[in-house]
Amino acid sequence: MAFSLPWTDLALVCMPLRTLDELLNFHKKPAQWKTLVEPLASRTSPRKMTEFGENGIEVTVNQEEKREILVCHDFKGNYREDSYISEATKWDGYRFYNWYTIDIFCYFSHDLVSVPTLQYINAAHKHGVIVLGTFIVEFSHGALILEKVLESREKMEQVADSLVLVAQYCGFEGWLLNIECPVKKEKVEILIEFVEYLTTQIKREIPNGRVIWYDSVTVDGNLLWQNQVNSKNFTFFEKSDGIFLNYNWTDSAIERTISEVTPSKRFKDVFVGIDIFGRGQVAQLNTHKTFSRIPSQLSVALFATGWTLESIEIEMKEQQQSMGTNELNMRFLARDRNLWSSLYSMLEIYGPNQLPFYSSFCIGSGEFFNRWGMRVKRKPWFDLRKQEIQPSNVTLERYFEDSFDGGSCLVFYQKSFNKIERLFITDFGYFKDLLVSYSFKRNYKLINVSLVLKLKASPTDKEQFHYLVEKDQTTEEEGIVNRAVDDEEVKTVIDKLRERGERHLPFVNSINGWEVRHHLIQCHRGHKLTDIGIRIQNEMQAIEFDSQLLLGSISVHDTSDLALINFD
């Protein structure tokens, strides 16, 4: 798909800035979608991935010491379905949604200035992930542009100030600098000044601002990828917030990198590159083998994670298979899940930490759009701005044939029954009263489902497990009342939530086969909600192998100030 409209025309699509003049004159005709940008959300502290069970141990990681994971998004040149301000109609394009495993999302193309699209900025920010654009000069035409940038200190600062303005106005956090053309030796010093000046200004003007240097040109002005940090690129590393190493590194090069960086102790500012297509390293569905070779104190940059869709499109074309949207989408979801599941045990994970909380798990596209289980749109759509908060668990499966709210939901099959699957790690609290609601659809009535909450009164207390189950069950344990309530009883609370503008589930028992449950939890002293899971039990005497349960949505609300329900 190719787009010809300039990215500012009528504010219909987001597009790159292709010339230096466009960049320098951005202030005269800035993007019209500034007011639509979501702010950067907060999220939990990172945790080691552990089992959700009675013996699971919560291991929180120091954010300052944790290595970072950067995804550099390059899907067939980018600016595709995600470039639309509203929505596209090709619903099965690439979607990134494993946000709670990464720290930085970089939007990449081979145009001079890759401005991240509004859809990706909002999806990333909703999950607390910072977003970078890309400034790239490459080949002979790039060398001519770079000459103009470096012709004087005044011009260099003008270009850097324009990059700061673009990031400020469009609501993202900074830049990847990719100088992939030789630099005249007498201009290297001003290039170094450019990196330092841009980094300083980005950090001064933009909260959480970041500038990362790509391992390309050296301090001698040669285009010579080092695949390590050494004397030929250390100055660029020193003047920026980090370096993205090229993909052809070796274990010995990584050892030398650690030695070079040890005096500064900036280990996590080194992003070791892995190209998911497998250029330079073993990758694709064996990416985990290369990932495991990278020392844990160094960060990782994953390039072109869209391989999970692009490779399938290539395979289907070579096999002359019809690329029907359903099959393509299912194969993409399976391959994407396989890739990220193989990395999961080596990643720290995040989750939401702000109430009220609502998610329908929709990943931002579909063949229809449902609202509270009812069909409100019957045509395909793609809009990552509508992507809901995604689970902390990358192994969960998506379902596109039905949904409670949006275009998809989660699905659980027999293999996931009779154990607890994590949905989100959380950091909600300290609260005294919570309303927790969820919707689900089961194809057999003897499939029983419950949400599982982990609650803690203090950081040193043992976690308590609470199962939100059938409506006729009420439990009280260690000062916590957990009570399922019906729609009439909870109506007063939901009316108050609506007045406060909080997204919530409806006060009904069922809609179009979707069952809705509401639970009120009252704590005699303040508690934190640290984990949310789901337990599904099949009580049929004969196992039905087509058993499935759809999880449509979940919401959590602090109702401590409402005091509307009497538990006595």
Which pLDDT belongs to residue 1?
32
Which pTM was predicted? 0.94
What is the topology classification, in CATH, of domain 357-558?
Jelly Rolls (2.60.120)
In the prediction, which pLDDT does 478 show? Answer: 67
Over range 250-274, report the average pLDDT.
Answer: 98
Strands annotated E in 327-384: 348-349, 357-359, 365-366, 369-371, 374-377, 381-382
| Residues 55-67, mean pLDDT to the nearest whole number | 76
pLDDT per residue over 487-506, tens digit each? 677 788 888 899 999 999 99
Q: How many CB atoms lie within 10 A of CB 358?
A: 19
Q: Are 36 and 119 in contact (CB under 8 A)?
A: no
Mean pLDDT lowest among 55-64, 95-104, 293-302? 55-64
Beta bridge partners of 476: 481
The stretch 245-250 carries a mean pLDDT of: 98
The more confidently predicted of residues 465 and 22 is 22
Q: What is the pLDDT of residues 151-197, one digit of tens each?
A: 999 999 999 999 999 999 999 999 999 999 999 999 999 999 999 99
pLDDT value for 148: 98
Q: Give the residue, 495 or 271, on which the prediction is more confident.
A: 271
Q: What pLDDT, on a 0 to 100 scale, did the predictor assign at position 475?
A: 67
Residues of the chain with CATH 2.60.120.260: 357-558
Residue 56: pLDDT over 60: no
Query: What's the residue count for the chain?
Result: 568
Bridge partners of 230, per DSSP, are none
End-to-end Cα spacing for the chain: 62
Give the residue range(s) of CATH 3.20.20.80 domains in the chain. 20-68+99-349
Q: What pLDDT score was predicted for residue 432?
A: 84
The conformational region for residue 284 under phi > 0 = left, psi -120 to 50 = alpha, else beta, is: left
Percent of the chain predicted with pLDDT > 70: 92
Least confident segment among 31-35, 266-270, 356-360, 365-369: 31-35
Buried-state track 286-310, b at ≥16 Cβ within 10 A, e below 16? ebbebbeebeeebbbbbbbbbbbbb
For residue 509, what pLDDT is reported?
A: 81
Q: How confident is the model at residue 345 (pLDDT cuts 50, 70, 90)?
A: very high
64 or 153, higher pLDDT:
153
- Across residues 496-520, what is the average pLDDT? 91
Rounded mean pLDDT, 469-497: 74
Task: Calculate the average pLDDT of the chain.
Answer: 91
Q: 333, 337, 332, 339: which is closest to 312 by C-alpha?
A: 332
Banded model confidence at residue 2, pLDDT cuts 50, 70, 90: very low
Distance of CA 75 to the CA centre of its chain: 16
CATH number of 20-68+99-349: 3.20.20.80
pLDDT confidence bin for 324, thresholds 50/70/90: low
What's the Cα-to-Cα distance from 514 to each of 77, 391, 457, rounded to whole Å? 40, 20, 34
pLDDT at 57: 59
- What φ, ψ does residue 277 adopt, rounded to 5°? -70, -15
The CA distance from 362 to 121, in Å, is 17
pLDDT at 350 over 60: yes
Pick from 330, 396, 329, 337: which is nearest to 549 by CA?
A: 396
Average pLDDT over residues 419-426: 94
